[in-house]
Amino acid sequence: MIDILLEPFSYQFMVVALTTTVIAAIVCALLSCWLVLMGWSLMGDAVSHAVLPGVVLAYLLGAPFSVGALAFGLAAVGLIGVVRDRSAIKEDAAIGIVFTTLFAFGLVLVSLTPSQVDLGHIIFGSLLGVSLAGFVQVVVLAAVATTLLLFKRRDLVLYAFDPVHAHAIGLNPRRLGALLLGILALTSVVAMQAVGVVLVVAMLVIPGATASLLSKRFSTILWIAPATAAGCAVVGIWASYHLDAAPGGMVVLAQGLLFAAVFVVTRLRSVPAGRSRTNRAAQSVTDTQTASVATRPSATVPVAPTTRTSTASE
């Protein structure tokens, strides 16, 4: 039994894949707490898809993938802001326009150079082939993103809950929003090394959503999300070895299954509690009505006074 559990991690490439995935999962999970809270899940999808042309161009120019991906991720954030602020287009439409256009541009670049760029590695990741340079990029970018999130945690939490109050106490909501989007671009580049362009959005959404089902306190969510994401990374890598499946896909599948299990359990636990609260409320109303009836003074019917009419005898 022990051999089955430890066998995948006896190989160096599996250890590198596991370490890369755990690092990416933790930083994505931290950011997902804000994305889920603020309803920015679609923004994560947009940035993760928009980095594809940057990756292809960086490959063609011989530059590191992270440089091109980060440049196009920041460009996507800026374009979405320009379209949203300087036109009548709403934010969700601006996101859809920008990320689909950039993703299509990346696919065109790939199709024009089919012999030079492996589309599968870019879109679905290549965990088992992570180089030393790629691993160093993941560590550095993840450290930068995590440091920024933790250092500005209080300001970002206030911005997420009440940007008006944040502005009233001297903070700049636009700068905080730009900082959060910049961290999103960094994190997308980190996650791309693990699960590829397509599945990045899953790592940016599922951990935060799962943690929000387990707790309503943001401080608690901030440690539940990374813990569950790291656990799913270990399970996914281990399962991918024994099933000979794509490691990135197995990691995301593990996160999805965990979310489904937590959702079902929390729903089952909330139904009896909700019924008991309803029953207690109904019983309380009944008792109140009974008590009011019992203490109400009985109604008395007024009786007309009897008047005698005296007749004069003649």
Q: Which residue has the higher pLDDT, 122 or 158?
A: 158
pLDDT confidence tier of residue 58, bands split at 50, 70 and 90: confident
Do residues 213 and 267 lie in contact, with contact meaning Cβ atoms separated by under 8 Å? Answer: no
Residue ranges of domains in the chain: 10-269
Q: CB-side exposure of 244: number of CA atoms within 13 Å? A: 0
Rounded to whole angstroms, what are the CA distances from 2 to 8, 11, 13, 17, 71? 11, 16, 20, 20, 45
Concatenate the DSSP letters of all residues of 118-150 into one string: -HHHHHH--GGG--HHHHHHHHHHHHHHHHHHH
**pLDDT tens digits, 218-247:** 989 999 999 999 999 999 999 988 888 888
| Residue 294 reports pLDDT greater than 80 | no
Do residues 127 and 247 lie in contact, with contact meaning Cβ atoms separated by under 8 Å? Answer: yes
Q: Which residue has the higher pLDDT, 309 or 208?
A: 208
**pLDDT tens digits, 70-115:** 899 888 888 888 887 788 888 788 888 888 899 899 888 888 876 5
Q: What's the rounded Cα separation, in Å, for the pair 26 and 62?
A: 29
Which pLDDT value is given to residue 262? 95
Amino acid at 57: L
Which pLDDT value is given to residue 213? 94
Tokens matching residue 199: 């599945």
Q: What's the rounded Cα separation, in Å, for the pair 141 and 70?
A: 10
pTM of the predicted model as reported, rounded to 2 decimal places? 0.79
Which pLDDT value is given to residue 310? 44
| b/e map 219-242, b = 16+ CB within 10 Å | eebbebbbebbbebbbbbbbbbbe
First-to-final CA distance of the chain: 127
**pLDDT tens digits, 12-37:** 888 888 998 999 999 999 999 999 98
Residue with token string 């991918």? 240
Which pLDDT value is given to residue 111? 81
Q: What is the CATH number of domain 10-269?
A: 1.10.3470.10
Mean pLDDT, all residues of the chain: 81
| Residue 251 reports pLDDT greater than 60 | yes
Which of 237, 174, 229, 238 has the alpha carbon at shortest distance from 204? 229
| DSSP tag of 88 | S
Q: What's the rounded Cα separation, in Å, for the pair 18 and 233?
A: 7
pLDDT average, residue stretch 190-209? 84
Q: State whether residue 66 is helix, strand or coil.
A: helix
Amino acid at 220: T
